[in-house]
Amino acid sequence: MNDNLFSILKSNFPDDLTTTFLQTGSGRSVSYADMLARSAQYANTLRALGLGPGERIAVQVGKSTEALMTYLGAIRVGAAFLPLNTAYTPAEVSYFLGDAEPRVVVCDPSKEDDIGAVAGKAKVETLGQDGASGSLPERVNAAPTAFEEVRCEADDLAAILYTSGTTGRAKGAMLTHKNLSSNAEALAAKWQFTAEDRLLHALPIYHTHGLFTASNTILHAGASMIFLPRFDADEVVSLLPQATAMMGVPTFYSRLLANDALTRNLVKHIRVFISGSAPLSPDIHREFELRTGHAILERYGMTETGMITSNPFDGARRAGTVGFALPGVEIRITEHESGKELAQGEVGDIEVRGPNVFNGYWQMPEKTAEEFRDDGFFVTGDLGMIDDQGYLNIVGRDKDLIISGGFNVYPAEIEAAIDELPAVAESAVIGVPHPDFGEGVMAVVACKAGETLEEGDVIASLSDTLARFKQPKRVAFVDALPRNAMGKVQKNELRDRYAETFQRPAK
């Protein structure tokens, strides 16, 4: 048996390959037959560029049908796919490329010079947002339309997704063919996706949510999707009547609620609305159900594990909880230091074990060992408890992780950049409630004696070094950061002090 992810997904494709696989917002339709032929052209092209099992391909391009075909072609050839957020600056990309050492890098034509300067020995190809421009489509158009998937073992590397640490360098989570195929199978079953479904897909595909949770699940079900380049509330509202399901981050749902066109009648054909990547506010959950009659199904996962739990499809979808473990997945709540399992209702570390859990961090065996228990459970770094009805509740996050608009933001990286400013004595970066993004990134800065800075000075200094979603939306200035007796910055105090920042001016 071939455990190549694409081979497993292909076994569930419709018998009639003229069935629509995706349609774009403009109405262009791509059948399963079209997808098989085009992804084969990509696979043939990537193999000609030297890609094969164990080799890496890094991709930083806008969302398009061709970008998705690049992913599918890479999987078919057995290479490891490395998606990069399009907001990353060349300085950030330089680290990822230096660490992963890909054989091929694909970027937007407008970034070719910048990426070429940091690509090292990698071959740089380009792919435009329109899906037609660039050097890669030129190669692909001349390639054969048939390709037999490279034979892979279940534990062979299929993707590397970087997840920044709170200290030290970013970590590349190694995901295998089994990790991705098992998660797609579990989600398709849990959420009852069939070939009759049409998913409204407005998520980015450089992230596990849009690339794996959404796209792989649809492929596993032999279903179809409406494939949008980005989320636009008006466009989504206009297309919802054509869909049966939607996956999104909480920001999507808050923006839909701000649109008067969102009514029960508009979404009467929708089977399920799913939310993830950040905590969904109970207020949004309740307001959405009141407006539409649909209780949003919230689930929980992370880069290293794919999806872990889900609220039930049939059953109570409880606001503020993330449901039960997926089939084949085990979760437990433990005491951090000892690893002792805690009783139901007690708060502790969330640990997970199952076929969805990654193989470790790329070239970081010591860090990998730190994150796993001896019995194979992965310590997620999230804090939670299992309530009296068996639902998992996320009650906090270890290590001060901020989730803004569905993206993980780690304060240490931003603090290091701010602290390099000559006038800055120290800084602390926190997440505070934001009506649109869930959490807004905020910096609290103490200047050196006799020095002053303006909010705009700090923000402007980060524009070329940090992706926009990481940049603080507000900056407050203090004489000194609050610390405890051990000298540790009291971020909880700062979060309380500035909790209403995005409802009033910072002081």
3.30.300.30, 3.40.50.300, 3.30.365.10, 3.40.50.12780: CATH of 401-503: 3.30.300.30
**Distances 397 to 235, 337, 353, 434 between C-alpha atoms, Å:** 34, 16, 19, 17
Longest alpha-carbon distance in the chain: 73
3-state secondary structure of 61: coil
304-399 domain in CATH 2.30.38.10?
Answer: yes
Contact 182, 356 (CB under 8 A): yes
Amino acid at 420: E
Q: What residues contact 444, with CB distance under 8 A and at least 6 apart?
A: 427, 428, 429, 430, 475, 476, 477, 478, 481, 494, 498
3-state secondary structure of 358: coil
Measured from the Cβ of residue 275, the count of other Cβ atoms closer than 10 Å reads 25
In the chain, residues under CATH classification 2.30.38.10 are 304-399
Q: What is the mean pLDDT of each run of 10 residues along the chain (507 residues)?
A: 96 98 93 98 98 97 97 98 94 94 98 96 96 95 98 98 71 98 98 98 95 98 97 97 96 95 97 93 93 97 97 94 97 93 95 98 96 96 93 82 88 89 94 93 96 95 93 96 77 93 69
Mean pLDDT value across the chain: 94
Strands (E) in 194-255, as ranges, are 198-201, 224-227, 245-248
pLDDT at 166: 47
Measured from the Cβ of residue 125, the count of other Cβ atoms closer than 10 Å reads 25
Write out pLDDT tens, residues 432-447. Answer: 999 999 999 999 999 9
Contact 198, 230 (CB under 8 A): no
CA distance linking residue 251 with residue 74, whole number of Å: 31
Angle at CA 198, nearest 5°, toward 193 and 199? 85
Q: Concatenate the DSSP letters of all residues of 154-200 into one string.
A: TTSEEEEEEE--SSSS-EEEEEEHHHHHHHHHHHHHHTT--TT-EEE
Cα separation of the two ends of the chain: 63
In the chain, residues under CATH classification 3.30.300.30 are 401-503
**Distances 348 to 340, 393, 436 between C-alpha atoms, Å:** 10, 11, 29
Contact 164, 413 (CB under 8 A): yes
CA distance linking residue 469 with residue 164, whole number of Å: 14
Angle at CA 326, nearest 5°, toward 320 and 329? 120
Whole-structure pTM over 0.75, yes or no? yes
pLDDT at 165: 53
CA distance linking residue 11 with residue 13, whole number of Å: 6
Contact 461, 490 (CB under 8 A): no
Strands (E) in 358-503, as ranges, are 378-386, 392-397, 402-404, 407-409, 424-434, 438-447, 474-478
